[in-house]
Structure 1
Amino acid sequence: MASGREIKTKIKSTQNMRKVTRALEMVSAAKIRRAQDLMRASRPYARLMRKVIAHVAQASTDFGHPFLIERANVARVGYIVVSTDRGLCGGLNSNMFRRLLPAIGEWQRQGVQVDVVAIGQKAISFFRRIKGVNLVGTVSHLGEKPKLERLVGVIKVMMDAYTANGLDRVFLTYSDFVNTMTQTPTIDALLPLPLVAAEMEAHQDAGESAYAGVRLEVGHEWDYLYEPDAQTVLEHVLGRYIESVVYQATLENLASEHAARMVAMKAASDNANKVIDTLTLTYNKARQAAITQEISEIVGGAAAV
């Protein structure tokens, strides 16, 4: 059995660790509200952009934009992967990577090259260690209020490659915020734009995921009059749409990060309490045994005299 001093040292170190985890839990609890507000504030814009692009995709024009045309042969695909910059957020990043790697492996078994744009330090570090994957763009440290301007560069890398036939598919990977306890690793098809003819569904209230990824849903069909011409309008609008989708995914991932960290730190604090209770009980037993031993020695010495 460890000595009383050693046990007290372990108790002290565990108490110090509990202070850290409690502080991180409280910080994340404060930040998650702001992250949710940002995420929900941008959803109406992304939703309306998705609706407009759905109608544009259905409309008949003489110009066929590359973003709307599916290619039969796939030789190279791209992934935009959104992760966190910091750890201590449970299995948020590892769950997403575990979801992503089989998809990448399936493309590689078919002889398809894979390019990756990594958003967040964890994704950058991860894909620098993965062989057979081309890391073509990175951005990190977006902060608590991500700016679209910081993302435009890496988004343009993928859009330009797709337009120039350097990529045949582009996917978006992130952690979708469902609620405080649930964050879902998600892979959405980004290019070519996936189209589903269906009624626009009302988005769900807070507490459930309200972000429908990049699937385009059309409720009614009509055509547009393009000024000055269809090509100019589509090139601008479709580019802005892709940017809005990636930006929304970044906000979803930020809210997921703070929720996952809050839950993980709460679990760590609870485990620290259990360890402290166990160590305290062990210390008391050791102290009681030492006192009993001293009393026995005193009594034995007195009897001998």
Structure 2
Amino acid sequence: MAQSTREIKRRIKGIGSTRQITKAMELVSSTKVRKRRIKLEKTRPYYNTVLKSIKEVLKNVNINHPLLQEREVKKSLYITINADRGLAGGYNSNINRLIDNKFKNNKDSISLITVGTKSRDFFKGRNYNILESFVGISEEPEFSDAREIGKLAMDLYIKGEIDEINVVFTEFVSTISYKPQIIKLLPSEKIKKEEGKPSAIVDFEPSPEEVLEYLIPKYVESSIYGALIEASTSEQSARRSAMSAATDNANEIIDELNMVYNRARQSAITMELSEIVAGAEALK
């Protein structure tokens, strides 16, 4: 019985050490979520301003820009945004399975640009066509990362190697709610010419063509950057929830083991007392 109590104490100590780790990770993720949410709120006005400006240009002039041309979709590009680390519940698998369930029987129709080792390793292991992989940026993405990804995607689109650009990410809804999303960047319904009268007086410098040449890449880049920030916020929120659940489970297991330990200790004491009483009776 003494051996049993020692074993139980070792288990309690081991689970207690794990609980300290999960609690620390929960606190770190909570801090990161707050920072990412602030950054997320700052990216949305920039994106909305760029989109509004593009619509204003298209409303006033008739321009056939290469990035706005629609064509028959034979080859699609998907930019998949995932994490570099695990311990985030179902966060990584949700994005991976969303694409795999859709294209596992038609892999030749898509190419991928993956963000995060979890996305790269998943699709590489299933023989998808990965054009480029970006790792080490999922937790703290910068606009320069979005610019690099966007340039690669737009070059492929202009060359005709792909017929549409999509971004796949996890949208942050709240600290306990986030959902996988697929958004088509090009050709986009959001930047089509709207019906309506042109503005009374509009003067584009140096020219409408050059203004649009500048704005459309900014739209793609800001969309990708927004998706990176949404995904980063969702990742930290998912990790916080997973670590919180792990900490709660550890507390429950420790409570149960403490009860088992107390019962075992009480049983051992009772047995020792019984042996003492029996020995005393035998001496009479």
TM-score, L = length of structure 1: 0.84
Residues 38-187 of structure 1 aligned to structure 2 (within 5 Å): 38-58=39-59, 60-61=61-62, 63-72=63-72, 74-105=73-104, 107-108=106-107, 112-131=108-127, 133-142=128-137, 145-187=140-182
Aligned to 2:184, which of 169, 186, 189?
189
Aligned to 2:273, which of 295, 298, 302?
295
Q: Which amino acid aligns with 1:93?
A: N
In 2: Cα distance, 1:103 partner to 1:54 partner: 32
Aligned-residue offset at 1:38: 0.7
In 1: Cα distance, 2:249 partner to 2:58 partner: 53
Judged with a 3 Å threshold, the aligned counterparts in structure 2 of structure 1 residues 144 and 99 are, in CA distance, closer, same or farther, namely closer
Q: Which amino acid aligns with 1:273?
A: N
In 2: Cα distance, 1:7 partner to 1:138 partner: 47
Aligned-residue offset at 1:100: 2.2
- What are structure 2's unaligned runs of at least 5 residues? none
Moved more, 178-187 or 87-96: 87-96
Per-residue CA distance 1:154-206 (angstroms, 9 max, x = gap)? 222211111111001211001111110101111111111124xxxxxxxxxxx
Aligned-residue offset at 1:249: 0.7
Judged with a 3 Å threshold, the aligned counterparts in structure 2 of structure 1 residues 69 and 106 are, in CA distance, closer, same or farther, namely farther
Aligned to 2:210, which of 211, 226, 232?
232
**Identity across the alignment (%):** 36
- What are structure 1's unaligned runs of at least 5 residues? 196-214
TM-score, L = length of structure 2: 0.89
Per-residue CA distance 1:50-81 (angstroms, 9 max, x = gap)? 222234455542x4123222212x22111111
Given the alignment of the two structures, is residue 247 of structure 1 paired with residue 225 of structure 2, yes or no? Answer: yes
Judged with a 3 Å threshold, the aligned counterparts in structure 2 of structure 1 residues 283 and 99 are, in CA distance, closer, same or farther, namely same
Look at both structures and tell me which one has the larger radius of gyration over its CA atoms.
2
* Count of aligned pairs: 280
Moved more, 42-51 or 5-14: 42-51
The alignment's C-alpha RMSD in Å is 2.4
Q: Secondary structure at the match of 2:221?
A: helix
Aligned to 1:274, which of 245, 252, 255?
252
Q: Which has the higher helix share?
A: 2
Q: Secondary structure at the match of 2:182?
A: strand
Q: Is the 8 A contact 1:51 1:216 kept in 2?
A: no
